[in-house]
Amino acid sequence: MASRTATRTLARAAMAARAPLAARAFAAAPRMATRFAAPAAASFQQTRGLKTLDFGGSQEKVYERSDWPKEKVLDYFKNDTIAVLGYGPQGHGQGLNLRDNGLNVIVGVRKDGRSWKKAVAEGWVPGKNLFSIEEAADKGNIVLNLLSDAAQRDLWPTIKPFITPGKTLYFSHGFAITYKDQTHVEAPAGVDVVLCAPKGSGATLRTLFLEGKGLNSSIAVFQDVSGKAHERVVALGVAIGSGYLYETTFQKEVYSDLFGERGVLMGAIQGLFRAQYDVLRAQGHSPSEAFNETVEEATQSLFPLIGAKGMDWMYANCSVTAQRGALDWHQKFYDASLPVFNELYESVKNGSETKRALDKNSQPDYREQLEVELQEIRDSEIWRAGSTVRSLRPENNK
Ligand SMILES: NC(=O)C1=CN([C@@H]2O[C@H](COP(=O)(O)OP(=O)(O)OC[C@H]3O[C@@H](n4cnc5c(N)ncnc54)[C@H](OP(=O)(O)O)[C@@H]3O)[C@@H](O)[C@H]2O)C=CC1
Ligand SMILES: CC(=O)[C@](C)(O)C(=O)O
Ligand SMILES: [Mg+2]
Ligand SMILES: [Mg+2]
C-alpha cells in the first residue's frame, strides 16, 4: 500500500515536472547552455566553513574543511587515539588519510588475515600502530568501526566491552544502528555515537586526498553525551579527507546508500549496460561496436560532461539529432524504471536488503562466493570486449 501511494505521488510529481521540461526548449546550442547556465548555489550565511546553501530550492547546511585547517585538526585531536577497526576500502582510505594528517591513529584487524597483510604492506607496524581488533578497540578513545557490516554484527559482543563511557563510537554507515533488530548493535551508555559516510569508494577518498581534493561525506549524530558530538564528527570528517560535509541521520544515510548502490550507482547501471549491449549484439553489431556505443563512450566522453556541468551540459555538447531523440526517449526509461526503484526502496526499508547482506556476508566463504560472481562478469562477452577496448586507449597502449 505504502509503496503504491509513493508510486502515485512520484508519478504525479513526474507529470508536473514534464511540462516545463518540454517547454524549456532544450535545443540549446553549447554557447547558449553556457550563457544560461544556472548560477552557482547562492550562499546565505557564512561562518567560515559552515554555509547554508540553496540546493535546487531547499536550504541545507554544509560544512567545509576551510574551517578546520590542519593545525586546528591536530590540536583538536592532540589527546586522542583514533582506532580504525577493519582495513577494507574505507579502513585503508580513512586510516591512511588520518595518518598523513599527522593524527595518532592505530588499526585493528584480525591477525594474519587479508587486511592484516595489506595493512603491513602499507606501513602499519604490528605492536606500534597495528593491533588485534580487541586491542585497538581498547586503546582507542575514538573508535571508527569500519569492519564489514556483517562483521559489525558478528563482532559486536567482542567489541562492545571496550566502548566504555567517554569514548566516541563512529560508523561510516547507518546500517548497524538503524537495523539494530538484525544486528543487535545498541548505542552504549555514556558514549557519543556518530556517523561520517564518505559518498564514494575508499580508494577514491584516498586518491582525491593525495591530489589535494576531497570526497564529500554525510554526517550524523545518533547519541550526544558529551555535548561535543557534532563538532567532533565535523572535525573527524575533515580529518579523514572529506571535501565538504552535509547533514543526514543514521536512517536516511543507510536507506539512501543501500538504495543508491543497488540502483543507479551499481546495479541499475550494470543492468542497463547489459540490456543495451545484448540488443545491439542480437541485431548483428560487433562486440567492439556494441561496447563502444554502450560503455566506452559513456564513461570516457559523455558521463564526465554530466559530472562537470550537469545533464543539460552533456545534452548541449551532443548533436541536436541526439538531443531530440534522447529527450523523447528518456521518459520511457523513467516510466519503466520507476516501479523497480520503488520496489527497491521498499526492500531496503523493510529490512530485506540488510537481512540478505548479513546472511550472505557472514558465511565463512563469502569473499570466494562474491569473487565467483565477479569472475562471471569478467568472463562475459561485454566485459571481455571492454578489456580489449580499454587496452586500445592510447594511454594504455604505450
Ligand atoms: N567500500 C566503501 O567504499 C564504502 C563503505 N562504507 C561502509 O564502511 C564500512 C566498511 O566497509 P569497507 O571498507 O567496504 O569494508 P568491507 O565491507 O570490505 O569490510 C572489510 C573489513 O571487515 C573485516 N572483516 C570481515 N569479516 C570479518 C570477521 N568475521 N572478523 C573480523 N574481521 C572481519 C575484513 O577483515 P579481513 O580482511 O581480515 O577479512 C576487513 O578488514 C561498512 O560499514 C561500509 O558499508 C561506506 C562508504 C563507502
Ligand atoms: C562506495 C559506496 O559509497 C558504496 C557503494 O555505498 C559502498 O561501497 O557501500
Ligand atoms: Mg555509499
Ligand atoms: Mg554502501
What contacts 315, CB < 8 A, 6 or more positions away? 26, 33, 322, 323, 326, 327
d(CA 152, CA 352): 18
Report which DSSP code applies to 296: I
- The ligand whose atoms approach the alpha carbon of 200 most closely is 2
Q: Is pLDDT of 13 > 80? A: no
> Residues of the chain with pLDDT > 90: what percent?
86
* Ligand 1 in reach of 215 Cβ (< 6 A): no
297 is annotated as contributing to ligand binding: yes
DSSP string, 191-248: -EEEEEEESS-HHHHHHHHHTT--EEEEEEEEE-SSS-HHHHHHHHHHHTTEEEEEE-
CA distance 251 to 148: 18
Indicate which residues carry an active-site annotation.
Answer: 173
- State if residue 75 touches ligand 2 by the CB under 6 angstroms criterion: no
Residue 353 annotated as lining a ligand binding site: no
Query: Is there a binding annotation on residue 337?
Result: no
149 is in an annotated binding site: no
What is the residue type of 128?
K
pLDDT tens readout for residues 308-351: 999 999 999 999 999 999 999 999 999 999 999 999 999 999 99
CA nearest 318: which of 331, 303, 333, 334?
Answer: 303
How does residue 397 score in pLDDT terms, banded at 50, 70 and 90?
Answer: confident
Confidence bin at 194 (pLDDT 50/70/90): very high
Predicted pLDDT of residue 398: 66
Residue 261 labeled ligand binder: yes
CB distance 149 to ligand 1 below 6 Å: yes
Check pocket membership of 113 for ligand 1, CB cut-off 6 A.
Answer: yes
* Residue pLDDT, tens place only, 224-278: 999 999 999 999 999 999 999 999 999 999 999 999 999 999 999 999 999 999 9
Q: Using most ligand atoms within 8 A of CB, pick from 248, 257, 259, 262 the residue to mutate for ligand 2.
A: 257
Distance, C-alpha 56 to centroid of its chain:
21
- Tell me the ligand closest to 88's alpha carbon: 1
Per the rule left: phi > 0, alpha: psi between -120 and 50, beta: everything else, 102 is left
CATH number of 63-248: 3.40.50.720
Residue 112: predicted pLDDT: 86
- Asked if domains 63-248 and 262-396 share a fold, the reply is no
Q: What is the pLDDT of residue 48?
A: 55
Q: E strands within 65-212?
A: 82-85, 105-108, 130-131, 142-145, 168-171, 192-198
Higher pLDDT among residues 109 and 33, named by residue:
109
pLDDT at residue 50, rounded to an integer: 80
- Residue among 147, 149, 367, 374 to mutate when testing ligand 1 (max atoms within 8 A of CB): 147
Q: Flag whether pLDDT at 23 surpasses 70.
A: no
| Higher pLDDT pick, 76 / 15 | 76
- For ligand 4, an ion, list residues with CB under 5 A: 257, 261
With a 6 Å cutoff on the Cβ, whether 200 touches ligand 2 is yes
Q: Would you say the CB of residue 201 lies under 6 angstroms from ligand 2?
A: yes
Cα of 172 vs centre of ligand 2, distance in Å, is 10
Mean pLDDT of all residues in 15-43: 36
In the block, residue with C-alpha cell 567545509: 64
Give me ligand 3 centre to Cα 337, in Å. Answer: 21
**Res. 31: pLDDT tops 90:** no
For ligand 4, the distance from its centroid to the CA atom of residue 70, given in whole angstroms, is: 28
Question: Does ipTM top 0.95?
Answer: yes
pLDDT of residue 144: 98
Task: Spell out the residues 6+ positions from residue 289 whose beta carbon is closer than 8 angstroms to its own.
Answer: 280
Closest residue by CA, ligand 2 atom 8:
201
Instruction: Give the residue extent of every domain in the chain.
Output: 63-248, 262-396
Pick the atom of ligand 2 nearest to 173's CA.
9
Average of pLDDT values for 273-297? 98
The ligand whose atoms approach the alpha carbon of 175 most closely is 1
Q: Please name the fold of domain 262-396.
A: N-(1-d-carboxylethyl)-l-norvaline Dehydrogenase; domain 2 (1.10.1040)
pLDDT, averaged across the chain = 90
pLDDT the model gives residue 68: 93
- Check pLDDT > 50 for residue 97: yes
Q: Is the CB of 267 under 6 A from ligand 2?
A: no
Ligand closest to the CA atom of residue 202: 1
pLDDT of residue 35: 31
pLDDT of amino acid 14: 40
